[in-house]
């Protein structure tokens, strides 16, 4: 399955003011989960930090990978708080996604902030369960779902748009394209050159925004971007806007992508 940076907009619930899934990073937008999953054969190591006025800067570390189960796609991962204060504990996340097909949404069920014992749950809070649907409308993608934690239903919505540009061809590809360009000796788009004129595109930047209800019935909205620096590293950042009047904060995340 080909990796797509647009499919790893990889921070869901990385920062929730109400302490819901504050350490888990399932694939998603800023503060919400989506039905996206990491492809099989790919691992993503994430570092992220949130900063703002009257807030001590933190540092967190996460990991996720995907499993192709044919009918469904599975994502699993783990995260841990590093600083300030005592590090840990490690919490897990898991997601199962099913694609209904071309022109239809992909749906997912998942859980994040999974502690392994009562001590961990006392520090990190309850498990954050959720259901979400994601649909690509061509010009943009929409996401909607609902989380469940501490007997509260927490609805969320999100939108993202990826801008793409032509990919610079490798030296061998450039020569092949030239031979099919209709010049002297070229095949002028016929025969063996059929289909070779298609331009390969790459992701330039993804703009994204989302909102999720909090336990106090206020909303946490956010807006940010995802920028592929190279095939091994993606930079993400977004601003968080609580509706309850608390301080605006900014989250910065680095995604290190490995294939195996």
3-state secondary structure 71-94: CCEEEEEEEEEEECCCCCCEEEEE
Q: What is the mean pLDDT of the chain?
A: 83
How far apart are the C-alpha atoms of 21 and 158, rounded to whole Å? 17
CATH number for the domain spanning 139: value is 2.40.160.40
pTM as predicted: 0.81
For the chain, what is the domain count? Answer: 1
Residue 175 has pLDDT above 70, yes or no: no
Expressed as residue numbers, the domain containing 52 is 5-259
Q: Spell out a b/e string for 61-98, using b for 16 or more CB atoms within 10 Å of the CB, else e.
A: bbbbbbeeeeeebbbbbbbebeeeeeeebbbbbbbbbe
The reported pLDDT for the residue numbered 1 is: 30
Q: Of residues 45 and 120, which shows the higher confidence score?
A: 45
| pLDDT exceeds 90 at position 191 | no
């Amino acid at each position: 399955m080909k990796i797509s940076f647009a499919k790893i907009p990889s921070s869901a619930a990385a920062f929730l003011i109400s302490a819901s899934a504050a350490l888990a990073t399932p694939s998603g937008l800023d503060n919400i989960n989506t039905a996206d999953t990491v492809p099989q054969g790919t691992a993503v190591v994430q570092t992220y930090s949130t900063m703002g006025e009257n807030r001590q800067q933190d540092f967190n570390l996460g990991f996720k990978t995907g499993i192709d189960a044919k009918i469904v796609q599975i994502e699993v991962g783990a995260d841990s708080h590093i600083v300030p204060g005592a590090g840990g504990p490690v919490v897990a996340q898991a997601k199962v996604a099913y694609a209904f097909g071309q022109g239809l949404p992909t749906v997912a069920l998942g859980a994040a902030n999974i502690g392994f014992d009562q001590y961990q749950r006392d520090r990190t809070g309850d498990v954050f369960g959720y259901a979400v649907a994601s649909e690509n409308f061509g010009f943009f993608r929409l996401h909607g779902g609902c989380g469940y934690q501490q007997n509260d239903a927490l609805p969320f919505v999100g939108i993202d748009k990826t801008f793409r540009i032509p990919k610079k061809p490798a030296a061998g590809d450039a020569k092949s394209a030239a031979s099919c360009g209709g010049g002297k000796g070229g095949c002028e788009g016929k025969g063996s050159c059929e289909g070779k004129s298609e331009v390969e595109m790459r992701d330039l930047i993804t703009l994204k925004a989302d909102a999720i209800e909090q336990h106090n019935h206020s909303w946490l909205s956010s807006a940010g971007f995802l920028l592929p620096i190279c095939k091994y590293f993606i930079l993400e950042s977004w601003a968080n806007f609580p509706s309850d009047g608390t301080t605006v904060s900014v989250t910065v995340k680095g995604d290190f992508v490995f294939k195996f």
